[in-house]
């Protein structure tokens, strides 16, 4: 093969057809081409390879000995190309209904199940792979291409190489066991109150912890009694009377409704946070990702409407 020359798959297909039919004209008819066009393509292939492949005479067209050997190799190349096309078709079909999601614990436990149910209602063939971890690790999963989309909570932060879109909101709540002295206080908790108390909190790197640290930074930061790796563990510690706990209002809702924990109002603190979808800035979100983001945003609109019809904070337990 001459240096810099390239093999054209169509020319290889034409070579196979010429060998099978013994005629440039019949090979041309198979491809909807003129005979002179096929003759030119065969000449181009011979020039690229630096070999004479065909004998042309009035009785027909025959392969030279070199042409016979090239024909066998051409069939191998065309077979490999067909397998490659079939593989790409299969992978593309699989990717059309396969979604890899990475989500923070709060999102995965309290929001994502309903989002996925809504998505499956219109995408019944959806194949979902879910990684549940804290927010910083979610971003890492998206960055390294292990997830098509991630969901994180916390303050807006610099995520090089990632795009984000707010899909929902949440607010941290301070909860205590009903027997705790704070459950009977009448004044909202201030920043000084929270910063001066050892708290049960989520681990560093979680979106919950980032929001709390930002809110209390001006008051000296967070004092920790326990650092725990999940909202369930934080709730269990609060029920054991291990101290005041700060966690997602979504995670605490069931305990507050049951009266096993009491929520305390705060004053002068921003404990709200955005829940964001994140994806690789180098790739446009696919249809499934965009659909899931839309489902999440619509669910949050419904939740906000429901919250606006009731109290913002559950009332402390009566004593």
Q: Which residues of 125-142 are buried (b: 16+ CB within 10 A; e: fewer)?
A: ebebeeebbbbbbbbebb
Average pLDDT over residues 259-268: 96
Which pLDDT band, with edges at 50, 70 and 90, does 135 fall under?
confident
pLDDT one-digit tens code per residue, 90-127? 666 556 688 999 999 989 999 999 999 999 998 898 88
315 has pLDDT over 50: no
Using CA atoms, how far apart are residues 149 and 238, in angstroms rounded to an integer?
33
**CA–centroid distance for 97 within its chain:** 13
pLDDT one-digit tens code per residue, 238-252? 999 999 999 999 999
pLDDT, position 222: 96
The DSSP letter of residue 183 is G
Residues near 27 by beta carbon (within 8 Å), at least 6 away in sequence: 14, 17, 18, 21, 38
Query: Residue 15 in contact with residue 53, Cβ under 8 Å?
Result: yes
CA angle 16, 20, 24 (to 5 degrees): 80
pLDDT one-digit tens code per residue, 48-63? 999 999 998 888 889 9
Using CA atoms, how far apart are residues 317 and 319, in angstroms rounded to an integer?
7
The full set of domains in the chain, from first to last, is 9-94 (1.10.10.10), 99-308 (3.40.190.290)
Alpha-carbon dihedral 216, 218, 224, 227, rounded to 10 degrees: 50
């Amino acid at each position: 093969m001459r240096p810099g020359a390239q093999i054209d798959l169509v020319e290889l297909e034409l070579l196979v057809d010429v060998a099978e039919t013994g005629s440039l004209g019949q090979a041309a008819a198979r491809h909807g081409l003129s005979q002179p066009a096929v003759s030119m393509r065969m000449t181009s292939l011979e020039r690229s390879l630096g070999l004479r492949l065909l004998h042309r005479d009035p009785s027909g067209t025959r392969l030279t000995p070199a042409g016979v050997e090239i024909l066998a190799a051409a069939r191998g190349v065309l077979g490999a190309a067909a397998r490659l096309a079939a593989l790409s078709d299969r992978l593309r079909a699989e990717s059309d209904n396969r979604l890899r999601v990475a989500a923070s614990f709060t999102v995965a436990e309290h929001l994502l199940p309903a989002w996925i149910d809504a998505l499956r209602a219109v995408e019944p063939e959806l194949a979902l792979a879910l990684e549940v971890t804290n927010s910083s690790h979610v971003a890492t999963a998206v960055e390294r291409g292990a997830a098509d989309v991630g969901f994180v909570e916390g303050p807006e932060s610099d995520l090089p190489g990632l795009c984000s879109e707010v899909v929902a909101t949440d607010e941290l709540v301070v909860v205590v066991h009903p027997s705790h002295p704070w459950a009977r206080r009448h004044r909202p908790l201030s920043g000084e109150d929270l910063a001066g108390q050892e708290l049960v909190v989520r681990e560093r790197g979680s979106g919950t912890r980032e929001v709390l640290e930002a809110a209390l930074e001006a008051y000296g930061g967070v004092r920790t009694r326990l650092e725990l790796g999940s909202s369930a563990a934080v709730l269990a510690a609060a029920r054991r009377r291990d101290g005041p706990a700060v966690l997602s209002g979504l995670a605490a809702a069931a305990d507050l409704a049951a009266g096993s924990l009491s929520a305390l109002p705060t004053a002068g603190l921003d404990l709200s946070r955005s829940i964001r979808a994140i994806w690789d800035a180098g790739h446009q979100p696919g249809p499934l990702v965009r659909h899931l983001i839309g489902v999440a945003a619509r669910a949050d609109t419904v939740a906000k409407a429901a919250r606006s019809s009731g109290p913002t904070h559950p009332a402390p337990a009566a004593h």
